[in-house]
Structure 1
């Protein structure tokens, strides 16, 4: 607790008092005339220009063979006890890249998918793909077979890395996929795995034997990446502001910019000898960039978990390894605030908890701070922002706020009726511009245009306002996305699935609040006239969906039967009406 309190005394005034709000009329890349006022700028120092960036693997691994880093633990799996050093990271990255490039003939701009829980080799795999100039699509390990197949084919993935625990799902998905040619299996340290025909063990790639000049040849693949802003690397799937999941193209430049932006907020307080504990899934952009990639670049030990989250186990890891910082989501912070078992553990090493991925209520934030005697601050972002957009600095945290815009970033609040930008304290849609804004959606130019303007402004779909110090507050969401324990769930995806049921004539899905999960999906269903309501019950439909989707997509918010789904004249579902009805019901 000493470092944070010292910094707050050293910086009694907020940086946002420097110039949180600028008038940018007439500036290059400025928005349309109707909304060129009240643009909020970042109070943090600007980051370096992208012309100086190297490709991500070279940028992140620059010090891995440094004498101070090489034998230092880079990552620790709190479930298996496995570790990797930074030297291991370096060796595995180069060897896997060599195998991919020269054995599997992976070409620049081809795609590799990764279906795995958190694993100590997750980062070397991802960076090896980047070394080949290829794209990497991380997949939720809880995805069903059909969900995996859909993303494999949409991303045109040529190679699938999968964990041995997920082989049944992976093999079923690949059998239906039109694009996957090779499977690489990450071994399960708890038991031996019989490799299916045609697959290969990750260790054979990690130990790939090559001539001394072969690694140099792999590095030379990056000669074509002259402009890191125009070459995609990461391809997470997101529902964006609406609709079905889409591939978010994030360039090398996007990711490096966001690392530098995060470092302007965290670098001074998150020291090189400090540890971070993060049970966040690495397939999720928050855990991937803020936890995995940032610690890999900064040379800090990351403590993670490869199994389902367990609160007592998490507390024991904090007690045993004494990390100074934690990356968490609101449901975990709620458990730390209220669960009696927390009192059995010493969590005093935690100096700061960062919460993101979903809104954290002020009451929960205050309760956890008081109980743990630690600081908690919020950050905000989305896949389309690589993901970080705003963050509270350690030395001036505003409870309930998602913080200030990160370096080299501009924001504005647009009136949803007029499109004009609004001043402090007025609520509208949050729109962001900065070097971390995505390239666009993969093969979805129409969807890209819907949310990304020609001069680089990204519509976030979040309702928000900012105060006189340039701190932002999220109040609601225009977008239809449901956030279940921080995981995005697209209503359109569940609606599309339910419409394949022989008894369902029409359906609308909305979110309902839940203290533990944040939000849960609820379906409003119109049955076909021929269906027997006594047989097609709410439980029947909940169970039917449960068999076909990942856990966060289950209809745990309930199923209600209605006579007609409210729609506009153009046929668009009016989810707002259903949300208002649900709100009255809950009140």
Structure 2
């Protein structure tokens, strides 16, 4: 639905004032308040304000002891064969929360980091932290020790949960950390690992049953002290529209709102007896909320993979377990469309594939639909939206579209220079308002003000348009974030790393297109005068970076040596000019 204005048009004096302020960096978010014409509203039923709900742990686990689902498999790890029932979920959540609260004195102001591949106890650990009123920051299991250290210190994490397979990296980071007091080691069922002296065995927390027990979330989270909209829980790190990764503060209310918004679209078509397969990493908020948290709340079996993704293993899991739905990203969907191994398995149980985290081309969408006789639809979101912003329903999905706004949300397309909101089929920046919009960036009020306006509009950094039916289409990104197989890579982070190389004078990093990965990082390098071009080659720098970063951050888009990095008069890197040159090259 498109309205001329849902909040009333701004007086001309206000509009002029905001336009003038827009030229200052601190007022960048105010651009979204300039004009409220052509506002699009959600076609889905509104949700009840999350302030009326209990904290996330009680909300999600309300039915876990119900005899109808208590002994049902909640999660199945297709890589290891491990399972947990909903009763296991409930028991482990309460035991871990009690141990954290009473043995390790975890306070509501503290943060816990979770550094693990997908794991059958990922949700109980996450909810246990929430019961203590503390913040949880999930970490990419592919991170190097330096990358882990950066997030530990920025989030001031007091406790680090890590999987035994990642222990050496975790220990190296924790030893240098200024904040970590305890390391909890989660077991590797495929191989026995010794738990080093000074670390905590996860099993001791999962089996903790001493008095007192933490039966409900601490009072700081409950609405008689503070409502669930004002208490933070999840703290994923995102680069937002620009710059280095920032802690995205998501409240209990944000996450409950997004669960309810997702359920308005999925609830009727995804009954409790259906299964979902999702190899998506749980540290990524798409996999965390849409797959892990949603299935936990709805009492549905989730099939996941803790090991490295393998298309053949995925197909075998579908054939053996017969899930009706799948949560995937475009590179996997591309494999389903083209790889010959797909024809050797029975994937007929899959009735719907949801694609998100990166754009999916119409041709690939059509190819998978035809080959597998399954439906494909797209959704869109970002960490700052908890993460869901738009989605297609099963009944009226439009190919190539990211769908319509989720319940109780409003969106508009604004001119990036004037802030004037545009009508249908006109491209500008997508801005969104709704109960799922983050609280803000951790300890960074200026960065928060740059992307959230006083009226609550979130600037997404995505260029888009909507059609006459209120369906949105992403065309490009204003923001500089690079999406590699759906994983966010911040150019500024790679530039900061490369500048520590003794032969690099200056650098700029942009994204270049890639059919399999979506995008890849490419570095434009100015060598120092003392650098020998025969030694400081593309291969040398690619290998140098590879040793220091997770795989998505590798310079697989190449290294280009140039004489000067294009910059504005104020010294800001003009990545736009480099992207335009790269676009010509790929065309």
Whether the 8 Å contact between 1:98 and 1:218 is mirrored in structure 2 is no
In structure 2, how many angstroms separate the alpha carbons of the residues matched to 1:24 and 1:204? Answer: 54
Whether the 8 Å contact between 1:20 and 1:43 is mirrored in structure 2 is no
Partner of 1:372: 372
In structure 2, how many angstroms separate the alpha carbons of the residues matched to 1:530 and 1:305? Answer: 48
Partner of 2:20: none
Partner of 2:38: 38
Whether the 8 Å contact between 1:22 and 1:41 is mirrored in structure 2 is no
**Residues 22 and 325 of structure 1, relative CA distance in 2, 3 Å threshold:** farther
Partner of 1:295: 295
Partner of 1:113: 113
Whether the 8 Å contact between 1:278 and 1:326 is mirrored in structure 2 is yes
Partner of 2:497: 497
Q: CA deviation at 1:47?
A: 0.1
Whether the 8 Å contact between 2:504 and 2:526 is mirrored in structure 1 is yes
Partner of 1:520: 520
SS of the counterpart of 1:290?
helix
Please state if 1:472 is matched with 2:472.
yes
Whether the 8 Å contact between 2:133 and 2:218 is mirrored in structure 1 is no
**Residues 104 and 424 of structure 1, relative CA distance in 2, 3 Å threshold:** same
Q: CA deviation at 1:20?
A: 4.3
SS of the counterpart of 2:47?
coil
Q: CA deviation at 1:50?
A: 2.3
Q: CA deviation at 1:454?
A: 1.3
Aligned-residue RMSD, C-alpha: 1.5
Q: After superposition, where does 1:434-583 map in structure 2 within 5 Å?
A: 434-583=434-583
In structure 1, how many angstroms separate the alpha carbons of the residues matched to 2:103 and 2:179? Answer: 18
**Residues 217 and 130 of structure 1, relative CA distance in 2, 3 Å threshold:** closer
In structure 1, how many angstroms separate the alpha carbons of the residues matched to 2:431 and 2:519? Answer: 23
Q: Deviations over 1:96-121 (max 9, x none)?
A: 00000000000012000000000000
Please state if 1:253 is matched with 2:253.
yes
The farther-off stretch of 321-330 and 565-574 is 565-574
Whether the 8 Å contact between 1:225 and 1:231 is mirrored in structure 2 is no
SS of the counterpart of 2:215?
helix
The farther-off stretch of 190-199 and 396-405 is 190-199
Partner of 1:180: 180
Partner of 1:26: 8
Q: CA deviation at 1:23?
A: 2.4
**Residues 418 and 220 of structure 1, relative CA distance in 2, 3 Å threshold:** closer
Structure 1 gap segments, 5+ residues each = 1-18
Q: CA deviation at 1:219?
A: 5.0
Whether the 8 Å contact between 2:33 and 2:455 is mirrored in structure 1 is no
Whether the 8 Å contact between 2:240 and 2:246 is mirrored in structure 1 is yes
Q: CA deviation at 1:21?
A: 3.8
The farther-off stretch of 191-200 and 119-128 is 191-200
Q: CA deviation at 1:225?
A: 5.3
Q: Deviations over 1:175-230 (max 9, x none)?
A: 1100000000000001211111111111110100223x523376556447521111
Q: Deviations over 1:500-546 (max 9, x none)?
A: 00000000000000000000000000001121111100000000000
In structure 2, how many angstroms separate the alpha carbons of the residues matched to 1:503 and 1:52? Answer: 58
Partner of 1:363: 363
SS of the counterpart of 1:67?
coil
In structure 2, how many angstroms separate the alpha carbons of the residues matched to 1:284 and 1:452? Answer: 22
In structure 2, how many angstroms separate the alpha carbons of the residues matched to 1:359 and 1:508? Answer: 24
Whether the 8 Å contact between 1:55 and 1:225 is mirrored in structure 2 is no
Partner of 1:8: none
Partner of 1:404: 404
In structure 2, how many angstroms separate the alpha carbons of the residues matched to 1:387 and 1:27? Answer: 29
Partner of 1:216: 215
Q: After superposition, where does 1:159-308 map in structure 2 within 5 Å?
A: 159-211=159-211, 214-216=213-215, 220=219, 222-223=221-222, 226-308=226-308
Whether the 8 Å contact between 1:280 and 1:287 is mirrored in structure 2 is yes
Whether the 8 Å contact between 1:77 and 1:304 is mirrored in structure 2 is yes
Q: CA deviation at 1:152?
A: 0.3
- Give me the TM-score of the superposition, normalised by structure 2: 0.95
Partner of 1:4: none
Q: CA deviation at 1:568?
A: 1.0
In structure 2, how many angstroms separate the alpha carbons of the residues matched to 1:300 and 1:563? Answer: 57
Partner of 2:25: none
**Residues 68 and 516 of structure 1, relative CA distance in 2, 3 Å threshold:** same
- Give me the TM-score of the superposition, normalised by structure 1: 0.95
In structure 2, how many angstroms separate the alpha carbons of the residues matched to 1:433 and 1:353? Answer: 27
**Residues 409 and 321 of structure 1, relative CA distance in 2, 3 Å threshold:** same
In structure 2, how many angstroms separate the alpha carbons of the residues matched to 1:65 and 1:226? Answer: 27
Q: CA deviation at 1:431?
A: 0.2
SS of the counterpart of 1:214?
coil
Whether the 8 Å contact between 1:414 and 1:421 is mirrored in structure 2 is yes
**Residues 503 and 373 of structure 1, relative CA distance in 2, 3 Å threshold:** same
Whether the 8 Å contact between 2:33 and 2:457 is mirrored in structure 1 is no
In structure 2, how many angstroms separate the alpha carbons of the residues matched to 1:204 and 1:125? Answer: 13
In structure 2, how many angstroms separate the alpha carbons of the residues matched to 1:217 and 1:256? Answer: 17
The farther-off stretch of 329-338 and 448-457 is 448-457
**Residues 217 and 68 of structure 1, relative CA distance in 2, 3 Å threshold:** closer
SS of the counterpart of 2:532?
coil
Whether the 8 Å contact between 2:55 and 2:217 is mirrored in structure 1 is no
Q: Deviations over 1:455-496 (max 9, x none)?
A: 110000000000000000000000000000000000000000
Q: After superposition, where does 1:90-109 map in structure 2 within 5 Å?
A: 90-109=90-109
